[in-house]
Amino acid sequence: MLDFKVAFALLLYDEFDGSAITDASVLFRCDGRIVTPLRKKEGFYVFRGLDQPEIELEISRPHYHTKNKRVIKNCLDPGYPVERERLLRQYPGRFSDCEWLHGDCPPNSEVLAFSEDEQARLQAGDDGKNQLTILGCAAGRLVGRRLALEKKSGETFLLTRMAAPGVYLTDRELASAPKGAWPVIRAYLSQSGSDGRYHIPVERGVSGRPTDLAYRGRGKENGFMRL
The structural domains of the chain, with segments of one domain joined by +, span 6-87, 98-226
Closest CA to 34 of 66, 59, 54: 59
**What is the bridge-based pairing of β-strands 6-14 and 82-87?**
parallel
Of 62-66, 161-165, 170-174, minimum mean pLDDT range: 161-165
pTM value? 0.86
| Tens-digit pLDDT profile for residues 4-42 | 588 899 999 999 999 999 988 999 998 889 999 999 878
Residue 220 has pLDDT above 70, yes or no: no
145: left (phi over 0), alpha (psi -120 to 50) or beta: beta
Sign of CA dihedral 178, 210, 153, 75: positive
The b-or-e profile of 1-15 (16+ CB within 10 A means b, else e) is eeeeeebbbbbbbbb
Distance separating the N- and C-terminal Cα atoms of the chain: 60
CA separation, residue 87 to residues 78, 150, 177, 209 (Å):
25, 23, 27, 22
- What's the mean pLDDT in 106-112? 91
> How far apart, in whole angstroms, are the C-alpha atoms of residue 14 and residue 32?
24
6-87, what's its fold? Answer: Immunoglobulin-like (2.60.40)
* 39-64 pLDDT tens trace: 987 889 999 988 888 999 999 999 99
Strands (E), 52-196: 54-60, 67-72, 82-87, 98-104, 110-124, 131-135, 146-148, 156-164, 167-170, 181-191
